[in-house]
Amino acid sequence: MSTKEKYGKVAVLMGGMSAEREISLKSGEAVLKALKANDVDAYALDVGKDVIEQLHAGKYDRVFNMLHGRGGEDGVIQGALELLGIPYTGSKVMASALGMDKLKTKEVWLANELPTPAYYVIDNETRPEEVLKRLRLPIIIKPMREGSSIGMSKVIDKGELPDAMKTALKFDTSVLAEQWIEGDEYTAGIIGDVSLPLIRLETANIFYDYEAKYVSNSTQYHCPCELDVGKEKSLQELAIKAFKAVGASDWGRVDLMVDSGGRPYLIEVNTLPGMTDHSLVPMAAKQAGIDFNQLVMKILDQSVKQD
């Protein structure tokens, strides 16, 4: 069976209407290039409100989803594709919705007795002093349903809290205040049931924010992560448990912190990570001997299981 016969006509969904549109376009173009290099009959689809009509008109056999953010990785497009009967890459409806919601993810992890930092939920009626009664400084403020660190702020002094809350609330009606964990940050890329080598992140910024992720050339990515084999394996196993707890499948990423005492804390799960030149899953895959084109095909192969 030829590549084109195996996969059929593939739509690479990218762009979209979320705050992560520009990153999605970069990820989608990189994936499209890799698919074409592998002789896949692939086409770019810059998604708008007429996505259903676009998919119908193109008569696509499957979808490689590279839509970051709301509408793309929160279960919405996944539900539409399920109704259309089009196989697609990545997690299914429930896991996508859970993974996009930082609070629901935490609640699932806590129900499964998995470690994650203490938190407090903020809305437009919340007063800063309420947050400070529950959490000690420093803390990090996050929109509940945004990715790429959009709208996030680290609060070191209590005077910074009102502005941090106001910034995050521009992006969502509810916001998560989370206890800051002092220590090392790691990320685990996941393909199928396997964790890729861990990456330890090091940035000169206050935290691993949007600029550190996508713009800065000073961010350091340590892979190998410099942990001993046993400790790395333990964190990889924790990442897999966290991934499966929310029902995630096919591929994704789990972010963790390890404090000065060696205690791990799950930070978030990403069911649709970036695939840009700064992205972490391709970096970890390379360390495992998987180049970018091979990685893209491994992800596409996950969608064939749905046929």
**Among 284, 290, 249, 276, residue whose Cα is nearest residue 30:** 276
| 220-244 confidence digits (pLDDT tens) | 889 999 899 999 999 999 999 999 9
Peptide bond into 273 cis (omega under 30): no
What CATH superfamily is the domain 98-115+183-292? ATP-grasp fold, B domain (3.30.470.20)
| 92-121 confidence digits (pLDDT tens) | 999 999 999 999 999 999 999 999 999 999
**Among 143, 95, 113, 132, residue whose Cα is nearest residue 246:** 95
Per CATH, 3-89 and 119-179 having the same topology is answered: no
What is the chain's pLDDT, residue by residue, as a tens digit (307 residues)?
Answer: 688 889 999 999 999 888 788 889 999 999 999 999 999 999 999 988 888 999 989 999 999 999 988 888 899 999 999 999 999 999 999 999 999 999 999 999 999 999 999 999 998 899 999 999 999 999 999 888 765 467 888 899 999 999 999 988 988 888 899 999 999 999 999 999 999 999 999 875 554 444 544 455 667 889 999 899 999 999 999 999 999 999 999 999 999 999 999 999 999 999 999 998 678 999 999 999 999 999 999 999 988 765 5
Question: What CATH number does the domain located at 119-179 have?
Answer: 3.30.1490.20
**What does the domain layout of the chain look like in residue ranges?**
3-89, 98-115+183-292, 119-179
Q: Where are the alpha helices (DSSP H) in 59-147?
A: 76-84, 93-100, 102-111, 128-134
| DSSP-assigned letter for residue 88 | B
User: What pTM did the predictor assign?
Assistant: 0.89
265: tokens are 């804390």
Q: Is the Cβ–Cβ distance between 227 and 150 less than 8 Å? A: no
| Architecture, CATH, for domain 3-89 | 3-Layer(aba) Sandwich (3.40)
Active site residue ranges: 20, 148, 214, 253, 255, 268, 270, 274
